[in-house]
Amino acid sequence: MPWNVLKEWPTWLSRWLGYRAPSAAPPNKTNYVVWIWSFIGAFAGLSVLQAIFTKAEYFLQRKVPPIIASYGASAVLIYGAIESPLAQPRALLSGHFIASLIGVCITKLFSLLHNEQRFEELRWLAGSLSTAMAIVVMQITETTHPPAGASALLAAVSPEITQLGWYYLPIILLSSSVAFVVALIVNNVQRRYPQFWFVPTPPPKKHIAPQLVVEKTREV
């Protein structure tokens, strides 16, 4: 979401989407402020995810794990290292989905062996291919999110995840969305998140006074 759209929104709303007016002074973020909100964010985000998948009968019937392990690593980024490009919405949401899609597709191809024992023997290969391919595709699409590599790997090497099949993808989308909403709320109390939504905002061009240009031309 571009900042020129958010600046037209009411301040009370645009603030929780990470927007700050250009003239606003940057907050004084001491270490203990970062530590406290990182703890609160990670605790809240992971707790909400586990509550959803362990309490909702809909997910229990489908044997969905209490949490996808890769979101523990995502918590480090989206709650603790929120300035990192790897923690921004595009990387979080798209990275996990792309990696998971690749993991499921490759695992499905290996399952065509129609030999359970052989498939189990080759899980390591499916996992390695899934993660390696996911890394390259995330690089191409500029959606690199390191924890997403684990989402691709789990689709192949974890029997619990493999059994979900294509249903793994909506679980990933829901997990990413919930984790992101918690990040929007918690990270904008005393900090700012996201730093950008799709692409980084280019730095403003420095204005060179006409007289300086003339003087430089004379020097040449």
Q: What is the 3-state secondary structure (H, E, C) of 84-128?
A: CHHHCHHHHHHHHHHHHHHHHHHHHHHHCCCCHHHHHHCHHHHHH
Alpha carbon distance 96, 91 (integer Å): 8
Intervals of the chain under pLDDT 50: 208, 213-214
For the chain, give the mean pLDDT: 86
pLDDT at 61: 93
Q: Which pLDDT score is estimated for 203?
A: 55
The helix, strand and coil proportions of the chain, stated in percent and rounded to the nearest 5, come to: 70, 0, 30
CB 69 within 8 A of CB 150: yes
Q: What is the pLDDT of residue 30?
A: 72
- The pLDDT of residue 19 is 65
Q: Are 49 and 179 in contact (CB under 8 A)?
A: yes
Residue 90 identity: R
pLDDT of residue 199: 77
pLDDT at res. 27: 56
In angstroms, the CA 211 to CA 220 distance is 14
Q: What are phi and psi of 2, to 5 degrees?
A: -65, 150
Q: Which of 20, 41, 71 is nearest to 201 (CA)?
A: 20
> How far apart are alpha carbons 202 and 196 in whole angstroms?
11
198: Cβ–Cβ under 8 A, 6 or more apart, which residues?
Answer: 1, 2, 89, 90
41 within 8 A of 186, measured Cβ to Cβ: yes
